[in-house]
Amino acid sequence: MFTPTNKLIDLLPYFKNKLGALYPESELENLFYWVCDVKFGLQKFQVKQGDSRLTESELLAVRNIVNRLKKYEPIQYILGETEFYNCKIKVDANTLIPRPETEELVEWVLDHTFNDARILDIGTGSGCIPIALKKSFASLEVSAIDISTTAIATAKESAELNEVNIEFIEMDILDPNVEALKEYDIIVSNPPYVLESDKMNMHHNVLVFEPHLALFVADQNPLLFYKAIAKIGLDILSKSGLLFFEIHENYGTETIEMLRQLGYQNIELRQDMQGKDRMIRCTRV
């Protein structure tokens, strides 16, 4: 057997031995204790007590996790979940792994919500944005759109897990049925914005494991989804309704100009925690 005992704590050296050439030691420890939490329901201090023992099948499950990590598969996909804005979000091959920058977008939206506000998230993917909004502000009426049937199914699981009621709508935002949508006070979207030409600079695990449909847009039309969503906003946003976008860091100026040409006002560009242009808020007048 790959560990001298069946004690869970004895698997930490196994993690470091098998994965030490691929991950920094501090990251490996975080991965190990994350696995212990999700797979076995044990916190770090409980694991360190050294009393927890695993069955042979549980030990084999850990070895399988290590083998998948060797291939750089994201731990979120291996475990089937991640944390986002104090919510547990299900993720799989059909959904992007939520990023910390998107938590900042959620925070900004929450700063401008009010009781019974109607919010629509476009391109919801895992459902992390609408779930976080609804869980933080229970009186909101929240809907979410995605083109992917499988992504919506995963998002519905997360909504049930977090005990929030979200209306999920399957729709192609590039060919929308606007008449099927109601009026909203806020639209928020984190649409595909990574250029095809950016692939060469991206980490292997993103390119191999995360869904390209939710990531990439053609170099020739980087604002494709932003223009489509902004035009829809003109039809379904309430008077003085707000539109929030997460954006490509290199296209802040272009996105602002596009919104201005469509008639949006009070356009504000905000940087993320890394100092990159990342979010835009504007008003339909």
Domain range list for the chain? 8-71, 92-283
- Amino acid (1-letter code) at residue 77: Y
Q: What is the pLDDT of residues 132-189, one digit of tens each?
A: 999 999 999 999 999 999 999 999 999 999 999 999 999 999 999 988 899 999 999 9
Q: Where would I find the H helices in 147-271?
A: 149-161, 204-209, 224-236, 252-262
Residue 269's contacts (CB-CB under 8 Å, 6 or more residues apart) are 252, 256, 277, 279, 280
Cα–Cα distance measured from residue 277 to residue 125, given in angstroms and rounded to the nearest whole number: 22
Specify the pLDDT at position 222. Answer: 84
Mean pLDDT of the chain: 90
pLDDT above 80 (res 224): yes
The pLDDT assigned to 215 comes to: 66
Residue range 92-283 in CATH 3.20.20.370: no
Q: What is the DSSP letter of 97?
A: P
